[in-house]
Structure 1
Amino acid sequence: MDTSEQHKIYEKARKRVKQKKRLYFHFVLFLIGSVFFIALNIFFNVGEQYGEWFKYAIALWFFILVLHFVNVFITNKFFGKDWERIETEKLMDKYEMKVEKLEADLIKKGVITPKDKLSNSQKKT
């Protein structure tokens, strides 16, 4: 394994650790914030005209936390940078095949000659 490959693996692992760290921080912040909302409602009667508003605020925050969890442990795992790279390569291959087919059809119809055909090195990306 060469140095650049080791560096890529290290960077990928480091980014993953940062994602998890942010999620754990978000969870701790959620717990502290929930206790704070409950304390505001019970001890200081903040927003008492809205009833038990803190339950809705905590539920909304919990939903956002669940989305964050899904992003870190589910979607990012399956739809991360590797997935993006693979899908991009698939689409580029598909596009190149369409261009080659179109060029072959144009040559067959006599619209262009084989020497007019773009070679792979001449194609614009």
Structure 2
Amino acid sequence: MFSKKQETTKIDRDQRELIEYAQLRVKEKKNLFRHFVIFLAGAILLIILNLILDFGADFRPLEIDWFVWATLIWFFFFLIHFLNVFLFKSFMNKKWENDQLDKLVAKQKNKIAKLQTKVDQEHPIIEPTTTYTRPNTPLNS
């Protein structure tokens, strides 16, 4: 009776996909930044453990301190994370997946059409030229 008409904003499917993709990218970049901060804090902690507290001082493979190896391995994982977020996700995104899917579907449709024409040529359907019609005669004649 006295209700106000509420306007609802409708977001079409493409806009929703763009928003979801943007939210996903922001989350990935946020996680990458978090990984970088943890990497820096962890590397500093490893340096303090080794140089100041003398933890693992006797373990020196190839005459290099162990914290260098641990930091290099951790940096390798961070580099993979970085490349995944900024390089691979940028050109292998949802649009790329949809394009690849469309290409494969078109290729399959093309193959099916070729097979259908081959089947039609090898086994043509013969159309009957005349049809038999029964005369309208009574049964008890």
> What TM bracket, shorter-length normalisation?
0.7 to 0.9
Q: Does 1:13 align with 2:26?
A: no
Q: Does 1:29 align with 2:38?
A: yes
TM-score computed with the length of structure 2 as normaliser: 0.73
| Residue 48 (structure 1) shift | 2.0
Match of 1:81 among 84, 90, 94: 94
4+ aligned runs moved over 4 Å, structure 1: none
CA distance in 2, matches of 1:61, 1:105: 58
Comparing 21-30 and 48-57, the one that deviates more: 48-57
CA distance in 2, matches of 1:76, 1:69: 10
Which residue pairs with 2:119 in the alignment? 106
CA distance in 2, matches of 1:49, 1:107: 80
Unmatched 5+ stretches in structure 2:
1-9, 127-141
Greater fraction of residues in helix: 1
Residues matched between the structures, number:
112
TM-score computed with the length of structure 1 as normaliser: 0.82
Percent of residue pairs identical = 36
Select the structure of larger CA radius of gyration. Answer: 2
CA distance in 1, matches of 2:80, 2:125: 55
Deviations 1:50-104 (A, max 9, x none): 2201101101111111111111111100011111111011011101111110111
C-alpha RMSD over aligned residues: 1.7
